[in-house]
Amino acid sequence: MAREDDSESASPPARREPVRAVRGVRDILPDERAIWRVAELAAKRVAHRFGYREIETPVLEHRELIERGVGEDADAASKELYRFEDRGGRQIALRPEATAGVVRAYFDGGLNQGPQPARLYLIGPMFRYDRPQKGRYRQFFQFDVEAIGGASAALDVEVIEVARAWLFEVGLRDLRLEVNTIGDPKCRPAYLDLLRAYYRPLRSQLHKECQERLEVNPLRLLDCKVPQCQPFKEGAPRMIDHLCEECAAAWGLVTKLIDAANIDYQVNPYLVRGLDYYTRTVFEFYPASATGQQDALASGGRYDGLADSLGLPTMPGVGFAGGLDRVTEMMAAEGEEVISEPAAEVIVLPDGDLAAEAAEVARIARSVRSVAVDYEPRSLRAKMRAANKLGARWAVLVNADDSGRRIAQLRDMATGEQLEVRWDDLPERLL
Protein backbone atom coordinates (compact mmCIF):
# COMPACT_ATOMS: atom_id res chain seq x y z
CA MET A 1 0.00 0.00 0.00
CA ALA A 2 1.27 3.46 -0.82
CA ARG A 3 2.52 5.34 2.22
CA GLU A 4 -0.02 7.93 3.12
CA ASP A 5 1.38 11.42 3.01
CA ASP A 6 -0.13 14.71 4.01
CA SER A 7 -1.42 15.68 0.59
CA GLU A 8 -3.11 12.34 0.06
CA SER A 9 -4.72 12.40 3.44
CA ALA A 10 -6.79 15.38 2.38
CA SER A 11 -8.87 13.23 0.04
CA PRO A 12 -10.98 10.29 1.19
CA PRO A 13 -9.33 6.91 0.74
CA ALA A 14 -10.07 5.15 -2.54
CA ARG A 15 -13.00 2.74 -2.48
CA ARG A 16 -12.19 -0.69 -1.05
CA GLU A 17 -8.88 0.51 0.33
CA PRO A 18 -9.00 -0.29 4.05
CA VAL A 19 -9.20 2.73 6.30
CA ARG A 20 -5.99 3.16 8.26
CA ALA A 21 -5.02 5.14 11.34
CA VAL A 22 -4.34 8.82 10.79
CA ARG A 23 -0.74 9.58 9.93
CA GLY A 24 1.57 9.95 12.91
CA VAL A 25 -0.78 8.42 15.50
CA ARG A 26 -0.86 4.88 16.77
CA ASP A 27 -2.82 2.35 18.75
CA ILE A 28 -1.68 1.01 22.06
CA LEU A 29 -2.89 -2.55 22.09
CA PRO A 30 -3.99 -4.44 25.22
CA ASP A 31 -0.65 -6.26 25.68
CA GLU A 32 1.20 -2.94 25.52
CA ARG A 33 -1.34 -1.20 27.72
CA ALA A 34 -0.17 -3.34 30.63
CA ILE A 35 3.14 -1.49 30.82
CA TRP A 36 1.41 1.85 30.29
CA ARG A 37 -0.87 1.11 33.19
CA VAL A 38 2.14 0.50 35.42
CA ALA A 39 3.59 3.88 34.38
CA GLU A 40 0.28 5.69 34.87
CA LEU A 41 -0.46 4.14 38.25
CA ALA A 42 3.06 4.99 39.41
CA ALA A 43 2.51 8.58 38.24
CA LYS A 44 -0.72 8.85 40.20
CA ARG A 45 0.76 7.29 43.30
CA VAL A 46 3.79 9.55 43.26
CA ALA A 47 1.74 12.68 42.54
CA HIS A 48 -0.56 11.93 45.48
CA ARG A 49 2.42 11.19 47.70
CA PHE A 50 3.55 14.78 47.08
CA GLY A 51 0.08 16.25 47.60
CA TYR A 52 -0.82 16.81 43.94
CA ARG A 53 -4.45 16.41 42.83
CA GLU A 54 -5.64 15.17 39.49
CA ILE A 55 -7.11 17.58 36.97
CA GLU A 56 -8.49 16.92 33.51
CA THR A 57 -8.54 19.67 30.93
CA PRO A 58 -9.91 19.48 27.39
CA VAL A 59 -7.80 18.31 24.52
CA LEU A 60 -9.35 21.18 22.54
CA GLU A 61 -8.34 24.73 23.35
CA HIS A 62 -8.63 28.03 21.55
CA ARG A 63 -5.66 28.34 19.28
CA GLU A 64 -4.99 31.66 20.94
CA LEU A 65 -4.34 30.04 24.29
CA ILE A 66 -1.49 28.09 22.80
CA GLU A 67 -0.14 30.75 20.50
CA ARG A 68 -0.43 33.80 22.73
CA GLY A 69 2.64 34.55 24.70
CA VAL A 70 4.88 32.40 22.60
CA GLY A 71 6.23 35.73 21.41
CA GLU A 72 9.25 35.61 19.17
CA ASP A 73 9.22 31.88 18.74
CA ALA A 74 5.63 31.91 17.50
CA ASP A 75 6.64 30.42 14.18
CA ALA A 76 8.25 27.37 15.64
CA ALA A 77 5.34 26.85 18.01
CA SER A 78 2.58 27.24 15.45
CA LYS A 79 4.33 25.11 12.83
CA GLU A 80 3.86 22.15 15.15
CA LEU A 81 0.36 23.04 16.20
CA TYR A 82 -2.35 20.55 15.32
CA ARG A 83 -5.10 23.00 14.50
CA PHE A 84 -8.34 23.37 12.60
CA GLU A 85 -11.42 25.52 12.26
CA ASP A 86 -14.47 23.98 13.88
CA ARG A 87 -17.98 24.09 12.41
CA GLY A 88 -18.67 27.35 14.22
CA GLY A 89 -15.66 28.98 12.59
CA ARG A 90 -13.59 28.90 15.79
CA GLN A 91 -9.85 28.49 15.56
CA ILE A 92 -9.13 25.38 17.61
CA ALA A 93 -5.87 23.73 18.59
CA LEU A 94 -5.31 20.24 19.94
CA ARG A 95 -3.18 20.91 23.01
CA PRO A 96 0.55 20.40 22.33
CA GLU A 97 1.28 20.33 26.04
CA ALA A 98 -0.79 20.69 29.18
CA THR A 99 0.60 23.71 30.98
CA ALA A 100 -1.34 26.52 29.26
CA GLY A 101 -4.63 24.62 29.63
CA VAL A 102 -3.97 23.85 33.29
CA VAL A 103 -3.15 27.51 34.00
CA ARG A 104 -6.36 28.54 32.20
CA ALA A 105 -8.36 25.98 34.21
CA TYR A 106 -6.73 27.18 37.43
CA PHE A 107 -8.30 30.60 36.88
CA ASP A 108 -11.52 29.41 35.20
CA GLY A 109 -12.20 26.98 38.03
CA GLY A 110 -11.32 29.45 40.78
CA LEU A 111 -8.37 27.43 42.04
CA ASN A 112 -6.59 30.76 42.38
CA GLN A 113 -9.00 31.47 45.26
CA GLY A 114 -8.03 28.31 47.12
CA PRO A 115 -4.91 27.34 49.03
CA GLN A 116 -1.72 28.20 47.19
CA PRO A 117 0.09 26.80 45.43
CA ALA A 118 -2.43 24.60 43.67
CA ARG A 119 -0.64 21.30 43.15
CA LEU A 120 -2.08 19.62 40.08
CA TYR A 121 -1.34 16.73 37.79
CA LEU A 122 -2.76 15.41 34.58
CA ILE A 123 -2.19 12.37 32.42
CA GLY A 124 -3.39 12.59 28.86
CA PRO A 125 -2.76 12.86 25.16
CA MET A 126 -0.94 15.80 23.59
CA PHE A 127 -0.73 16.62 19.89
CA ARG A 128 2.03 18.02 17.76
CA TYR A 129 1.94 18.22 14.01
CA ASP A 130 5.56 17.24 13.75
CA ARG A 131 7.17 15.02 11.16
CA PRO A 132 6.37 11.53 12.47
CA GLN A 133 9.40 9.38 13.21
CA LYS A 134 10.33 6.60 15.57
CA GLY A 135 9.49 7.61 19.11
CA ARG A 136 7.84 10.85 17.99
CA TYR A 137 4.16 10.81 17.34
CA ARG A 138 1.49 13.35 16.51
CA GLN A 139 -0.53 12.06 19.42
CA PHE A 140 1.55 11.17 22.44
CA PHE A 141 0.97 11.05 26.17
CA GLN A 142 2.35 13.07 29.02
CA PHE A 143 2.33 12.94 32.78
CA ASP A 144 2.10 16.62 33.59
CA VAL A 145 2.71 18.13 37.02
CA GLU A 146 2.15 21.78 37.88
CA ALA A 147 2.48 23.83 41.07
CA ILE A 148 0.68 27.09 40.33
CA GLY A 149 0.58 30.11 42.61
CA GLY A 150 3.88 29.51 44.39
CA ALA A 151 7.03 31.50 43.75
CA SER A 152 9.42 29.66 46.05
CA ALA A 153 12.36 28.02 44.36
CA ALA A 154 11.78 25.16 46.79
CA LEU A 155 8.83 24.21 44.55
CA ASP A 156 11.19 23.94 41.59
CA VAL A 157 13.07 21.26 43.49
CA GLU A 158 9.82 19.67 44.63
CA VAL A 159 8.69 19.07 41.05
CA ILE A 160 12.16 17.77 40.19
CA GLU A 161 11.70 15.30 43.03
CA VAL A 162 8.26 14.30 41.75
CA ALA A 163 9.68 13.60 38.29
CA ARG A 164 12.56 11.63 39.73
CA ALA A 165 10.37 9.65 42.12
CA TRP A 166 8.12 8.69 39.22
CA LEU A 167 11.01 7.53 37.05
CA PHE A 168 12.45 5.60 40.00
CA GLU A 169 9.12 4.01 40.70
CA VAL A 170 8.87 2.63 37.15
CA GLY A 171 12.36 1.21 37.46
CA LEU A 172 14.31 3.90 35.60
CA ARG A 173 16.98 4.73 38.14
CA ASP A 174 19.97 5.31 35.97
CA LEU A 175 19.23 8.94 35.26
CA ARG A 176 21.00 12.10 34.37
CA LEU A 177 19.42 15.30 35.65
CA GLU A 178 20.44 18.48 33.89
CA VAL A 179 19.57 21.81 35.43
CA ASN A 180 20.01 25.42 34.41
CA THR A 181 18.60 28.85 35.06
CA ILE A 182 17.50 31.20 32.30
CA GLY A 183 16.99 34.27 34.48
CA ASP A 184 13.94 36.47 34.37
CA PRO A 185 12.72 39.60 32.57
CA LYS A 186 14.91 41.68 34.86
CA CYS A 187 18.28 40.13 34.04
CA ARG A 188 17.67 38.20 30.81
CA PRO A 189 17.43 41.11 28.32
CA ALA A 190 20.91 42.39 29.18
CA TYR A 191 22.26 38.86 29.00
CA LEU A 192 20.64 38.32 25.60
CA ASP A 193 22.39 41.46 24.38
CA LEU A 194 25.70 39.98 25.49
CA LEU A 195 24.83 36.73 23.74
CA ARG A 196 23.97 38.56 20.49
CA ALA A 197 27.16 40.59 20.70
CA TYR A 198 29.14 37.38 21.13
CA TYR A 199 27.51 35.59 18.22
CA ARG A 200 27.29 38.46 15.69
CA PRO A 201 30.90 38.17 14.46
CA LEU A 202 30.37 34.39 14.12
CA ARG A 203 27.14 34.71 12.21
CA SER A 204 28.38 33.49 8.83
CA GLN A 205 29.71 30.31 10.43
CA LEU A 206 26.36 29.32 11.96
CA HIS A 207 23.79 27.18 10.22
CA LYS A 208 20.97 29.01 8.51
CA GLU A 209 18.33 28.70 11.19
CA CYS A 210 20.74 29.89 13.87
CA GLN A 211 21.66 32.87 11.70
CA GLU A 212 17.98 33.78 11.66
CA ARG A 213 17.54 33.17 15.37
CA LEU A 214 20.51 35.26 16.37
CA GLU A 215 18.58 38.52 16.60
CA VAL A 216 15.11 37.25 17.52
CA ASN A 217 15.77 34.41 19.94
CA PRO A 218 19.49 34.06 20.65
CA LEU A 219 18.87 31.74 23.62
CA ARG A 220 17.98 29.01 21.15
CA LEU A 221 21.50 29.14 19.71
CA LEU A 222 22.64 27.49 22.92
CA ASP A 223 20.58 24.35 22.44
CA CYS A 224 21.23 24.04 18.69
CA LYS A 225 22.25 20.48 17.86
CA VAL A 226 23.75 21.15 14.41
CA PRO A 227 27.46 20.18 14.43
CA GLN A 228 28.71 23.33 12.72
CA CYS A 229 27.32 25.50 15.54
CA GLN A 230 28.83 23.48 18.39
CA PRO A 231 32.37 24.91 18.59
CA PHE A 232 31.09 28.39 19.44
CA LYS A 233 29.01 27.47 22.45
CA GLU A 234 31.87 27.07 24.83
CA GLY A 235 32.95 30.71 24.61
CA ALA A 236 29.40 32.05 24.84
CA PRO A 237 28.45 34.06 27.92
CA ARG A 238 26.38 32.07 30.41
CA MET A 239 23.15 33.21 32.00
CA ILE A 240 24.33 31.86 35.31
CA ASP A 241 27.08 34.50 35.41
CA HIS A 242 24.65 37.35 34.74
CA LEU A 243 21.76 36.74 37.10
CA CYS A 244 20.05 39.55 38.98
CA GLU A 245 20.05 39.32 42.75
CA GLU A 246 16.66 37.58 42.98
CA CYS A 247 17.48 35.03 40.30
CA ALA A 248 20.85 34.33 41.90
CA ALA A 249 19.17 33.75 45.26
CA ALA A 250 16.61 31.42 43.65
CA TRP A 251 19.35 29.49 41.87
CA GLY A 252 21.29 29.26 45.14
CA LEU A 253 18.25 27.75 46.86
CA VAL A 254 17.58 25.34 43.99
CA THR A 255 21.11 23.93 44.03
CA LYS A 256 21.19 23.84 47.82
CA LEU A 257 17.92 21.87 48.02
CA ILE A 258 18.86 19.46 45.25
CA ASP A 259 22.09 18.78 47.12
CA ALA A 260 20.19 18.37 50.38
CA ALA A 261 17.88 15.85 48.68
CA ASN A 262 20.97 13.90 47.64
CA ILE A 263 20.12 14.12 43.99
CA ASP A 264 22.93 14.03 41.45
CA TYR A 265 22.73 16.65 38.76
CA GLN A 266 24.75 18.49 36.20
CA VAL A 267 24.50 22.17 35.46
CA ASN A 268 23.99 22.42 31.72
CA PRO A 269 24.41 26.08 30.69
CA TYR A 270 23.03 25.21 27.25
CA LEU A 271 19.72 23.96 28.55
CA VAL A 272 17.20 26.66 27.63
CA ARG A 273 13.60 27.28 26.67
CA GLY A 274 12.69 29.19 23.56
CA LEU A 275 9.61 30.86 24.94
CA ASP A 276 9.65 34.17 26.76
CA TYR A 277 7.38 33.18 29.62
CA TYR A 278 9.83 30.68 31.05
CA THR A 279 11.83 32.00 33.96
CA ARG A 280 14.71 30.75 36.05
CA THR A 281 14.86 27.00 36.59
CA VAL A 282 14.82 24.61 33.65
CA PHE A 283 15.56 20.92 33.97
CA GLU A 284 15.54 17.67 32.05
CA PHE A 285 15.86 14.03 32.99
CA TYR A 286 17.64 11.70 30.56
CA PRO A 287 18.58 8.07 30.77
CA ALA A 288 22.19 8.16 32.03
CA SER A 289 23.29 6.38 28.88
CA ALA A 290 21.65 8.89 26.54
CA THR A 291 23.71 10.74 24.00
CA GLY A 292 23.09 14.31 22.90
CA GLN A 293 20.30 13.76 20.40
CA GLN A 294 18.08 11.63 22.56
CA ASP A 295 14.77 12.81 23.87
CA ALA A 296 14.35 13.67 27.51
CA LEU A 297 12.23 11.39 29.69
CA ALA A 298 10.84 14.42 31.46
CA SER A 299 11.46 18.12 31.22
CA GLY A 300 10.22 21.12 33.07
CA GLY A 301 10.80 24.48 34.56
CA ARG A 302 9.38 27.66 35.96
CA TYR A 303 6.99 29.80 33.92
CA ASP A 304 6.26 32.89 35.98
CA GLY A 305 5.37 34.88 32.84
CA LEU A 306 2.86 32.45 31.35
CA ALA A 307 -0.38 33.55 33.05
CA ASP A 308 0.36 37.16 32.21
CA SER A 309 1.03 36.31 28.56
CA LEU A 310 -2.40 34.63 28.41
CA GLY A 311 -4.03 37.85 29.56
CA LEU A 312 -4.58 36.42 33.05
CA PRO A 313 -3.39 37.89 36.34
CA THR A 314 0.33 37.42 36.85
CA MET A 315 0.86 34.13 38.64
CA PRO A 316 4.04 32.14 39.22
CA GLY A 317 4.17 28.47 38.38
CA VAL A 318 6.52 25.58 37.92
CA GLY A 319 6.07 22.09 36.54
CA PHE A 320 7.25 19.35 34.28
CA ALA A 321 5.99 16.95 31.66
CA GLY A 322 7.12 13.37 31.41
CA GLY A 323 6.72 11.51 28.13
CA LEU A 324 4.80 8.27 28.65
CA ASP A 325 5.63 6.97 25.17
CA ARG A 326 9.31 7.36 25.86
CA VAL A 327 9.16 6.10 29.45
CA THR A 328 7.16 2.97 28.60
CA GLU A 329 9.53 2.27 25.72
CA MET A 330 12.48 2.51 28.14
CA MET A 331 10.69 0.34 30.70
CA ALA A 332 10.20 -2.34 28.08
CA ALA A 333 13.83 -2.03 26.93
CA GLU A 334 15.02 -2.37 30.53
CA GLY A 335 13.09 -5.61 30.72
CA GLU A 336 10.44 -4.36 33.10
CA GLU A 337 8.40 -7.47 33.80
CA VAL A 338 4.79 -6.71 33.26
CA ILE A 339 2.51 -9.67 33.31
CA SER A 340 -0.22 -8.85 30.98
CA GLU A 341 -3.38 -9.95 32.77
CA PRO A 342 -5.58 -12.55 31.11
CA ALA A 343 -8.67 -11.06 29.57
CA ALA A 344 -10.68 -13.08 32.07
CA GLU A 345 -9.88 -15.46 34.92
CA VAL A 346 -12.80 -17.70 34.13
CA ILE A 347 -14.09 -18.72 30.74
CA VAL A 348 -17.48 -20.30 30.34
CA LEU A 349 -17.67 -22.85 27.54
CA PRO A 350 -21.17 -23.80 26.42
CA ASP A 351 -21.17 -27.14 24.59
CA GLY A 352 -23.77 -26.45 21.96
CA ASP A 353 -26.56 -23.94 21.69
CA LEU A 354 -26.68 -22.85 25.33
CA ALA A 355 -26.13 -19.11 25.22
CA ALA A 356 -28.71 -18.27 27.86
CA GLU A 357 -27.40 -20.94 30.28
CA ALA A 358 -23.78 -19.89 29.71
CA ALA A 359 -24.68 -16.25 30.24
CA GLU A 360 -26.37 -17.09 33.53
CA VAL A 361 -23.41 -19.13 34.75
CA ALA A 362 -21.14 -16.20 33.84
CA ARG A 363 -23.38 -13.76 35.70
CA ILE A 364 -23.17 -15.89 38.84
CA ALA A 365 -19.38 -16.35 38.64
CA ARG A 366 -18.82 -12.67 37.94
CA SER A 367 -19.70 -11.85 41.53
CA VAL A 368 -16.19 -13.03 42.45
CA ARG A 369 -14.09 -13.29 39.26
CA SER A 370 -13.68 -11.77 35.82
CA VAL A 371 -15.57 -14.01 33.44
CA ALA A 372 -15.88 -14.28 29.67
CA VAL A 373 -18.09 -16.61 27.64
CA ASP A 374 -17.12 -18.36 24.43
CA TYR A 375 -20.24 -17.99 22.29
CA GLU A 376 -18.56 -19.11 19.05
CA PRO A 377 -20.21 -21.96 17.15
CA ARG A 378 -17.30 -24.38 17.45
CA SER A 379 -16.51 -27.67 19.14
CA LEU A 380 -15.80 -27.90 22.84
CA ARG A 381 -12.28 -29.02 22.01
CA ALA A 382 -11.67 -25.91 19.95
CA LYS A 383 -13.09 -23.82 22.80
CA MET A 384 -10.72 -25.48 25.27
CA ARG A 385 -7.76 -24.65 23.05
CA ALA A 386 -8.87 -21.02 22.83
CA ALA A 387 -9.36 -20.90 26.63
CA ASN A 388 -5.79 -22.09 27.07
CA LYS A 389 -4.51 -19.35 24.80
CA LEU A 390 -6.47 -16.76 26.74
CA GLY A 391 -4.65 -17.78 29.90
CA ALA A 392 -7.85 -18.29 31.90
CA ARG A 393 -7.39 -20.03 35.25
CA TRP A 394 -10.67 -21.92 35.14
CA ALA A 395 -13.06 -23.10 32.49
CA VAL A 396 -16.68 -23.79 33.31
CA LEU A 397 -18.13 -26.37 30.95
CA VAL A 398 -21.84 -26.05 30.39
CA ASN A 399 -23.75 -28.83 28.61
CA ALA A 400 -27.42 -29.49 28.02
CA ASP A 401 -27.79 -32.44 30.42
CA ASP A 402 -26.14 -30.75 33.39
CA SER A 403 -27.86 -27.45 32.76
CA GLY A 404 -31.29 -28.89 33.45
CA ARG A 405 -30.06 -29.53 37.00
CA ARG A 406 -28.18 -26.19 37.20
CA ILE A 407 -24.89 -28.05 37.31
CA ALA A 408 -21.61 -27.43 35.42
CA GLN A 409 -18.08 -28.83 35.24
CA LEU A 410 -15.41 -26.61 36.78
CA ARG A 411 -12.01 -27.25 35.27
CA ASP A 412 -8.71 -26.01 36.67
CA MET A 413 -6.81 -25.11 33.51
CA ALA A 414 -3.37 -25.60 35.07
CA THR A 415 -3.93 -29.08 36.57
CA GLY A 416 -6.69 -30.32 34.29
CA GLU A 417 -8.62 -31.32 37.41
CA GLN A 418 -12.35 -31.19 36.83
CA LEU A 419 -15.25 -31.39 39.24
CA GLU A 420 -18.98 -31.04 39.16
CA VAL A 421 -20.38 -27.94 40.82
CA ARG A 422 -23.79 -26.41 41.27
CA TRP A 423 -24.07 -23.09 39.47
CA ASP A 424 -24.95 -21.36 42.69
CA ASP A 425 -21.87 -22.76 44.43
CA LEU A 426 -19.52 -21.33 41.79
CA PRO A 427 -18.70 -18.10 43.66
CA GLU A 428 -17.58 -20.14 46.64
CA ARG A 429 -15.53 -22.56 44.49
CA LEU A 430 -13.82 -19.79 42.59
CA LEU A 431 -12.52 -17.93 45.64
Q: Which residues in this chain contact ligand AMP in the complex, by CB under 6 A?
A: 97, 128, 130, 136-137, 140, 142, 295-299, 321-323, 325-326
Q: DSSP secondary-structure letter at 133?
A: B
Question: Residue 385's closest CA among 366, 413, 344, 357?
Answer: 413
CA distance 409 to 380: 13
Question: In the bound complex, what is the minimum distance in angstroms from residue 128's beta carbon to ligand AMP?
Answer: 5
Report the residue number, 257 or 282, with the smaller CB distance to ligand AMP.
282
CB of 72 to ligand AMP, least distance (A): 18
For the chain, counts of helices (H) and of strands (E): 14, 16
Question: What is the Cα–Cα distance from 374 to 138, expressed in whole angstroms?
Answer: 38
How far apart are CB 349 and ligand AMP at their closest, in Å?
A: 42
Q: Which is nearer to ligand AMP, 303 or 394 (CB)?
A: 303
Q: Report the residue number, 99 or 403, with the smaller CB distance to ligand AMP.
A: 99
Based on CB atoms, which residue is closest to ligand AMP, 183 or 322? 322
The CB-of-205 to ligand AMP minimum distance in angstroms stands at 28
CB of 130 to ligand AMP, least distance (A): 5
Helical (H) or strand (E) element with 407: strand 407-412
Provide φ and ψ at 73, rounded to 5°.
-100, 20
Number of CB atoms found within 10 A of residue 296's CB? 21
Cβ proximity to ligand AMP: between 136 and 207 the closer is 136
Neighbours of 403 (CB within 10 A): 20
Q: What type of residue sits at position 283?
A: F
Q: How many residues does the chain have?
A: 431
**What's the min distance (Å) between Cβ of 276 and ligand AMP?**
16
Shorter beta-carbon distance to ligand AMP: residue 220 or 411:
220
Closer by beta carbon to ligand AMP, 304 or else 325: 325
Q: Where are the alpha helices (DSSP H) in 24-177?
A: 30-49, 63-67, 74-79, 99-108, 153-169
Question: Between 310 and 361, whose beta carbon lies closer to ligand AMP?
Answer: 310
Q: Taking the complex as a whole, how short is the minimal distance between the CB of residue 257 and ligand AMP, in angstroms?
A: 22
Peptide bond into 18 cis (omega under 30): no
Helical spans, DSSP H, in 217-313: 245-260, 306-309
DSSP for residue 377: S
Report the C-alpha gap between 74 and 303 in whole angstroms.
17
Strand-by-strand arrangement of the 60-62 sheet:
60-62, 91-94, 82-85
Give the residue nearest to ligand AMP (CB).
323
DSSP 8-state secondary structure symbol assigned to residue 200: G
CB of 251 to ligand AMP, least distance (A): 21
